């Protein structure tokens, strides 16, 4: 029997998201989430998609990632999809930081694990959890290929002019300070799906991808290769996000330390967790912000305007970086759902060939679609992202041809 299934694991510090896909049939067999790992009220939600069954939910203590994965394995086994199945070809893991070295999905061995560990100082919030996920899965199925798919990989094609900060080269290199970029799996998937929507190959088109979720990033993709992206050393740089500030003058940090008396950790928390939309108006959900704006809320309106202003600046910047733009693609929670954000982001950019058709923009749906007027010079598109499918595809491409 040929093994055609891939389990995709996205391990966070206190959560594990998973999907089981069949790569031959292209279908999703199961998906789920374990949350609040390590607490007394951990929760598992499992949806047996293939069986067409209802979501099963379970609450109780799940001590660690090992216990979480065992619970997931039990749920899968109940649907006849156990991890001991010979049909399972590999486990694909989302790994946030792959540094400069990992330019491709990689089969995990001890050397790869050690390198991901070495990157912890540049990804202290993410890589430890990703590592735990890999180690746990490996212990459960030591015989199975475990593949690491890196958020940074797609961005490793950025030229040095885009990837380097203009700081002392020796200092930067000694501490591996450079722009790595994140959400790469999504940018790769969406840029390719946009080319397909246009009936062209990825090599033929230049695309600006706007991944607007709770975290948000933009990228400039030239003929299928990333040439610039808005996140940097960490996912803090760039666009205004749900709770992250995005770009600020670095001197804001010195000022808050010297004049504001804040510690480095306090400033870190401020910029990562208490800034962005939440810092500006108290809400990070775009639906709630739109509702407040409709009620005349001035702070919500200002937060929205700052969000849009930054987005527009990046569209302009990446237009200049690319020279010729064939498409602008909106994706992720806000990009796929918030028509007002899409309309506002390109408003006034008609001379760049950018516009949205009000009617098309208002249509909701799960499929990639154009929202620019017929005959527009630049296509504006909504392209739902699918990071799990992309991780599974890359994983299977690496190990599945047996
Ligand atoms: P994450 O970065 O957590 O993966 P998502 O891509 O799921 O985020 O995006 C989550 C965000 O999407 C929410 O915080 C909310 O602002 C936005 N969002 C989700 N649904 C809608 C909607 N129907 N209208 C506007 N915004 C939405």
pLDDT score of 298: 98
Range 312-330 average pLDDT: 98
What distance in Å separates the CA atoms of residue 159 and residue 359, rounded to the nearest whole number?
Answer: 39
| Higher local confidence (pLDDT), 288 or 65 | 288
What distance in Å separates the CA atoms of residue 167 and residue 172, rounded to the nearest whole number?
Answer: 7
Q: Both tokens of residue 248? A: 């600020």
- Distance of CA 387 from the midpoint of ligand 1 (Å): 15
Task: Look at residue 324 and tell me if it is in a domain.
Answer: yes
Q: In which order are the strands placed within the sheet that holds 106-107?
A: 56-60, 42-47, 27-35, 16-22, 5-11, 88-95, 146-150, 106-107
Q: Both tokens of residue 23? A: 């790569």
Over residues 270-315, the pLDDT tens digits come to: 999 999 999 999 999 999 999 999 999 999 999 999 999 999 999 9
- Distance of CA 342 from the midpoint of ligand 1 (Å): 14
pLDDT score of 50: 83
Please name the residue whose Cα sits nearest to atom 20 of ligand 1: 333
CA 259 to chain centre: 35
Over residues 251-272, the pLDDT tens digits come to: 999 999 999 999 999 999 999 9
pLDDT, averaged across the chain: 95
Ligand 1 shell residues, CB under 6 Å: 213-215, 242, 284-287, 332-334, 337-338
Are 119 and 208 in the same domain?
A: no
Task: Look at residue 24 and tell me if it is in a domain.
Answer: yes
- Residue 31's domain comprises 5-150
Per DSSP, 54 falls in state P
Over residues 21-47, the pLDDT tens digits come to: 999 877 899 999 999 998 899 999 999
- Alpha-carbon Rg for the chain, nearest whole angstrom, is 21
C-beta separation of 155 from 217 below 8 A: no
Are 122 and 15 in the same domain?
A: yes
User: Measured from the CA of 289, which atom of ligand 1 is nearest?
Assistant: 16
Check the annotation: does 130 bind a ligand.
Answer: no
Nearest by Cα to 372 from 208, 201, 202: 208
Over residues 338-390, the pLDDT tens digits come to: 999 999 999 999 999 999 999 999 999 999 999 999 999 999 999 999 999 99
User: Measured from the CA of 286, which atom of ligand 1 is nearest?
Assistant: 16
**Where are any strands of DSSP class E within 54-104?**
56-60, 88-95
pLDDT score of 401: 62
Are 206 and 337 in the same domain?
A: yes
Task: Look at residue 164 and tell me if it is in a domain.
Answer: no
Has 326 been annotated as catalytic? no
pLDDT score of 12: 83
Are 93 and 240 in the same domain?
A: no
Which of the listed residues 116, 150, 184 is the one where a domain comes to its end?
Answer: 150
Which of the listed residues 119, 134, 150 is the one where a domain comes to its end?
Answer: 150
> ∠211-214-215 over CA atoms, to 5°?
60
For residue 82, the tally of other CB atoms under 10 A from its CB is: 14
- Give me the long-range contacts of 288-293 (CB less than 8 A, separation at least 24): 290/338, 290/340
Nearest by Cα to 218 from 246, 238, 191: 238
Which of the listed residues 150, 173, 188 is the one where a domain comes to its end?
Answer: 150
- Which residues fall within 8 angstroms of residue 193, CB to CB, at 6 or more apart? 329, 368, 383
Range 172-188 average pLDDT: 96
- Which residues fall within 8 angstroms of residue 368, CB to CB, at 6 or more apart? 193, 194, 196, 197, 381, 382, 383, 384
pLDDT score of 124: 82
Range 323-344 average pLDDT: 98
- Distance of CA 53 from the midpoint of ligand 1 (Å): 26
Give the CATH number for residue 363.
3.30.420.40
Are 239 and 301 in the same domain?
A: yes
Number of domains the chain contains: 2
Q: Both tokens of residue 250? A: 């670095």
pLDDT score of 303: 98
pLDDT(402) > 60: no
Share above pLDDT 90 across residues of the chain, in percent, rounded to a whole number: 87
């Amino acid at each position: 029997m040929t093994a055609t299934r891939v389990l995709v694991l996205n391990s966070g510090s206190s959560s594990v998201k998973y999907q089981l896909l069949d790569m031959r049939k292209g279908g999703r067999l199961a998906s789920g989430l374990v949350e609040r790992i390590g607490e007394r009220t951990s929760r598992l939600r499992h949806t047996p998609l293939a069986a067409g069954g209802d979501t099963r939910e379970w609450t109780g203590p799940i001590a660690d990632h090992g216990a979480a994965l065992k619970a997931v394995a039990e749920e899968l086994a109940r649907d006849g999809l156990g991890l001991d199945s010979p049909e399972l070809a590999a486990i694909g893991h989302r790994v946030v930081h792959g540094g400069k070295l990992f330019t491709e999905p990689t089969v995990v061995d001890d050397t790869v694990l050690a390198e991901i560990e070495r990157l912890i100082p540049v990804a202290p919030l993410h890589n430890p959890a990703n590592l735990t996920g890999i180690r746990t899965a490996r212990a459960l199925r030591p015989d199975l290929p475990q593949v690491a798919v890196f958020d940074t990989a797609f961005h490793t094609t950025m030229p040095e002019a885009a990837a380097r900060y203009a700081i002392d080269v020796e200092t930067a290199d000694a501490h591996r300070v450079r722009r790595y970029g994140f959400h790469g799996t999504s940018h790769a998937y969406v840029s390719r799906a946009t080319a397909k929507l246009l009936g062209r190959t990825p090599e033929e088109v230049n695309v600006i991808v706007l991944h607007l979720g709770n975290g948000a990033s933009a990228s400039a993709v030239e003929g299928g290769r990333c040439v610039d992206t808005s996140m940097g050393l960490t996912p803090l740089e760039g666009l205004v996000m749900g709770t992250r500030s995005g770009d600020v003058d670095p001197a804001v940090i010195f000022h808050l330390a010297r004049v504001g008396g804040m510690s480095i950790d306090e400033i870190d928390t401020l910029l990562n967790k208490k800034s962005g939309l939440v810092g500006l108006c108290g809400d990070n959900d775009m639906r709630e912000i739109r509702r407040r704006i409709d009620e005349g809320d001035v702070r919500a309106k200002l937060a929205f305007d700052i969000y849009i202003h930054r987005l527009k600046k990046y569209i302009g910047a990446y237009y200049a970086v690319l020279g010729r733009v064939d498409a602008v693609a909106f994706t992720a929670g806000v990009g796929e759902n918030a028509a007002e954000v899409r309309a506002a982001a390109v408003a006034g950019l008609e001379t760049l060939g950018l516009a949205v058709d009000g009617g098309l923009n208002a249509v909701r749906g799960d499929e990639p679609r154009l929202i620019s007027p017929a005959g527009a010079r630049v296509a504006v598109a909504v392209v739902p992202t699918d990071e799990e499918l992309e991780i599974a595809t890359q994983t299977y491409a690496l190990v599945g041809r047996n």
